[in-house]
């Protein structure tokens, strides 16, 4: 893991969110990263963030989430 990479929530209480809220937050983070040019592959970034958060997903779910990132851009 890179020295500046986070593997846990930053804010107190962020572990309290239900899984859907956590997914919504990840989608929004990825959307913003794409918008400001910090990333160019939404699918790869979503896969990484969901894995880091310990959230299981299917390829079909990943495709739907990638579409959500694009819809909000």
Report how many domains make up the chain: 1
The pLDDT score that the predictor gives to residue 73 is 53
Residue 2 located in a structural domain:
no
Tell me what pLDDT residue 48 has: 97
Q: Which residues fall within 8 angstroms of residue 36, CB to CB, at 6 or more apart?
A: none
- For residue 4, tell me if it sits in a domain: no
C-alpha Rg value of the chain to the nearest Å: 12
Task: Report the distance separating Cα 19 and Cα 64, nearest Å.
Answer: 16
Residue 63 located in a structural domain? yes
The boundaries of the domain holding residue 47 are: 18-72
Asked if residue 3 belongs to a domain, the reply is no
The answer to whether residue 66 sits within a structural domain is yes
Q: Kindly report the pTM of this predicted structure.
A: 0.75
Distance from C-alpha of 63 to C-alpha of 69, rounded to nearest angstrom: 10
pLDDT digits (tens, 9 = 90+) for 18-68: 999 999 999 999 999 999 999 999 999 999 999 999 999 999 999 999 999
Alpha carbon distance 60, 36 (integer Å): 26
Residue 7 located in a structural domain: no
Residue 11, domain member (yes or no): no
């Amino acid at each position: 893991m890179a020295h500046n990479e986070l593997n846990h929530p930053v804010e107190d209480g962020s572990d309290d969110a239900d899984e859907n809220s956590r997914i919504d937050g990840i989608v929004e983070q990825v959307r913003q990263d794409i918008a400001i040019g910090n990333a160019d592959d939404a699918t790869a970034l979503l896969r990484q963030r969901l894995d880091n958060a310990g959230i299981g997903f299917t390829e079909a779910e990943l495709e739907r989430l990638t579409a959500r990132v694009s819809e909000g851009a």
